[in-house]
Amino acid sequence: MPGLPTSAEAFVTLVTNSEYGLGAAVLGYRLRAVGTTRATVVMVTESVPETTRKMLSKTWDTVLDVTQLDSNDSDRLAMLKRPELGITFSKLNVWKLTQYKKVVFVDADTMPLSNIDDLFQYEELSACRDAGWPDCFNTGLFVLTPSLETYKALIRRACDDGSFDGGDQGLLNAHFSTWSHGDIRKHIPFSYNVNPNASYTYLPAYKHFADQVKMVHFLGAVKPWHYQYANGRVQGQNLTEHTLKFLEQWHKVA
Amino acid sequence: MPGLPTSAEAFVTLVTNSEYGLGAAVLGYRLRAVGTTRATVVMVTESVPETTRKMLSKTWDTVLDVTQLDSNDSDRLAMLKRPELGITFSKLNVWKLTQYKKVVFVDADTMPLSNIDDLFQYEELSACRDAGWPDCFNTGLFVLTPSLETYKALIRRACDDGSFDGGDQGLLNAHFSTWSHGDIRKHIPFSYNVNPNASYTYLPAYKHFADQVKMVHFLGAVKPWHYQYANGRVQGQNLTEHTLKFLEQWHKVA
Ligand SMILES: O=c1ccn([C@@H]2O[C@H](COP(=O)(O)OP(=O)(O)O)[C@@H](O)[C@H]2O)c(=O)[nH]1
Ligand SMILES: O=c1ccn([C@@H]2O[C@H](COP(=O)(O)OP(=O)(O)O)[C@@H](O)[C@H]2O)c(=O)[nH]1
Ligand SMILES: [Mn+2]
Ligand SMILES: [Mn+2]
């Protein structure tokens, strides 16, 4: 692949507690299993216990402390007015990792099925369409260029306008609002961030495109670590066959 | 608007029975209420009763008979092997309406909230992203150029490969497969074909973009005419406030 030396590029995720730490441990394992050639960085906040950090260091190249609230005083003050955006602010820390020229951010509740290093061909801000409101991108996976300027602009926007969904997805879609009908090269195929959903058009399409799926995203309130797992089997109701299969694949690693 | 004389352009829907006839009656009424300047055509199959045709003629400019199975013998023979695609084949008839230079096809279960004539600026094949598998387009609304050649190519594809979802959406997405990552000008904003869904990312986005919504699509097994309606109120469980509002708006017209 032409472009940057791969050492200047990294996969990055975020962990603020031990539950998401489990998710990140699986993700880190899978990234190595599919043979990534890029650096892997897990950002952890002060609230993450030492045992989790230790576990993460086994599957991630770098376990990096980030402040849940920025240390810059005026930022901190403004942020404190919107405590509900705490985790969003932590995610924005990825723009401060200027030691990397390009980053693929991935949620801790994702699981790559095959190598996804070709994502580094994309430019900021590239992402997949959201199943739900498909003119928004889903922020479980996005390609960005770290920059303190962008970081500050995002913080400013968050403090001024908040986020229309109370999380990072609303904020980032408001900021990168030309994504929807701008440059189609910034639309990563949905197969890189497949979020199983209940829409009745999803299932036949999933079956048709199944062999192209490169990453699964367990988005929503119920995460893989919430399911009971015993003897290679996940206990769960109203799950499609392939969701069950992915959950079991996840648990085999965890 | 520059381009074709508006008489060469039409909104077209399809009705194969009296239930969808109700849907089309509301749609036809709404198209006039929002002041369309284009012709409106409802295609009906032989199975549609006379009373329904009469009702439809009140809100549509043209009630047009189309054959459920094409009269061409070899087509008919091939089609008969795939009876499940019957309604899909009926929809494809829209490509035969070569008396129009451009057509906006709209499902009979849709309801425009405001004028959508600007859709005629789009070229074949333009459509909105599907909430569910967002790299597919939803075939509840699409812009096309009638052409016997395209019609035949679609019939051929249906006979050879069927449809991955058993309906027109699978067939048309397979045929116009470059849509997903081709020309972004063929991506109509989602606000023209909003299909309420249960994905948890949908609701906050809906609230944020609500004032941009131009058309609602009651996609899925439960249609507006399945709900009880009395004293200006729709009886329904697990409905969001705005879905209820749209259903009541629909029933006020029906
Ligand atoms: O309590 C939390 C919530 C979120 N996250 C991080 O933020 C991401 C986004 O949250 P989540 O995946 O729960 O959102 P969803 O994808 O379900 O919308 C997670 O994957 C984690 O990386 C975290 O570390 N702790
Ligand atoms: O029995 C049927 C089924 C469908 N249709 C027509 O085909 C369209 C597509 O079907 P539907 O809207 O039920 O599919 P959905 O949008 O729920 O996927 C309808 O809106 C109608 O115009 C019809 O006339 N009779
Ligand atoms: Mn997630
Ligand atoms: Mn429909």
Question: Ligand 2, residues B20, B40, B130: which to mutate, most atoms within 8 A of Cβ?
Answer: B20
Pocket of ligand 2 contains residue B132 by CB under 6 Å:
no
User: Is it the case that residue B79 has pLDDT exceeding 80?
Assistant: no
> Which has the closest alpha carbon to A102: A7, A214, A13, A217?
A7
A208 interface with B at CB cutoff 8 Å:
yes
Residue A1: the pLDDT is 44
Nearest CA to ligand 2 atom 25: B16
Question: CA B215, CA B22: separation in Å to the nearest integer?
Answer: 17
Confidence band (pLDDT; 50, 70, 90) for B71? very low
d(CA B14, ligand 2 centre) in Å: 8
A136 interface with B at CB cutoff 8 Å:
yes
Instruction: For tokens 């797992």, name the residue.
Output: A229
Q: Global pTM?
A: 0.94
Given B131, B187, B221, which is nearest A132 (Cβ)? B131
DSSP single-letter state for residue A194:
B
Residue B68: the pLDDT is 65
Residue A129: the pLDDT is 98
Nearest CA to ligand 1 atom 3: A87
pLDDT in tens, B85-129: 778 889 999 999 999 999 999 999 999 999 999 999 999 999 999
Nearest chain A residue to B139, by CA: A201
User: Is it the case that residue B84 has pLDDT exceeding 70?
Assistant: no
Pocket of ligand 2 contains residue B150 by CB under 6 Å:
no
Q: Which residues of chain A have a CB within 8 Å of the CB of B207?
A: 164
Residue B159: the pLDDT is 85
CA distance A202 to chain B (A): 5
d(CA A216, ligand 4 centre) in Å: 28
- A vs B, Cβ pairs < 8 A, gives 129
Asked if ipTM goes beyond 0.90, one says: yes
Question: Ligand 2, residues B11, B12, B14: which to mutate, most atoms within 8 A of Cβ?
Answer: B14
Question: What atom of ligand 2 comes closest to residue B91's alpha carbon?
Answer: 7
Residue B1: the pLDDT is 44
d(CA A84, ligand 3 centre) in Å: 17
Question: CA A218, CA A24: separation in Å to the nearest integer?
Answer: 12
| Best residue of B164, B168, B201 to probe chain A, by most A CBs closer than 10 Å | B201
Q: Report which residue type is found at B62.
A: T
Q: Which residues, given as ranges, of chain A have pLDDT below 50?
A: 1, 71
The verdict on a CB contact (< 8 Å) between A204 and B170 is yes
B131 interface with A at CB cutoff 8 Å:
yes
pLDDT in tens, B159-210: 888 889 888 999 999 999 999 999 999 999 999 999 888 788 899 999 999 9
Ligand lying closest to the C-alpha of residue A201 = 2
Question: CA A90, CA A15: separation in Å to the nearest integer?
Answer: 9
The verdict on a CB contact (< 8 Å) between B165 and A204 is yes
Pocket of ligand 2 contains residue B108 by CB under 6 Å:
yes
Question: CA B40, CA B100: separation in Å to the nearest integer?
Answer: 11
% of chain A surpassing 70 pLDDT:
91
The verdict on a CB contact (< 8 Å) between B205 and A166 is no
The verdict on a CB contact (< 8 Å) between B165 and A208 is yes
The verdict on a CB contact (< 8 Å) between A130 and B134 is yes
- Token pair of B232 as six digits: 């200006």
Pocket of ligand 2 contains residue B15 by CB under 6 Å:
yes
Q: Which residues of chain B have a CB within 8 Å of the CB of A134?
A: 128-131, 134, 190
Confidence band (pLDDT; 50, 70, 90) for B75? low
Give the mean pLDDT of B146-170: 92
A162 interface with B at CB cutoff 8 Å:
no
Nearest chain A residue to B192, by CA: A135
B208 interface with A at CB cutoff 8 Å:
yes
A81 interface with B at CB cutoff 8 Å:
no
Nearest CA to ligand 2 atom 2: B16
Nearest CA to ligand 2 atom 11: B219
C-beta atoms surrounding B161 within 10 Å: 12
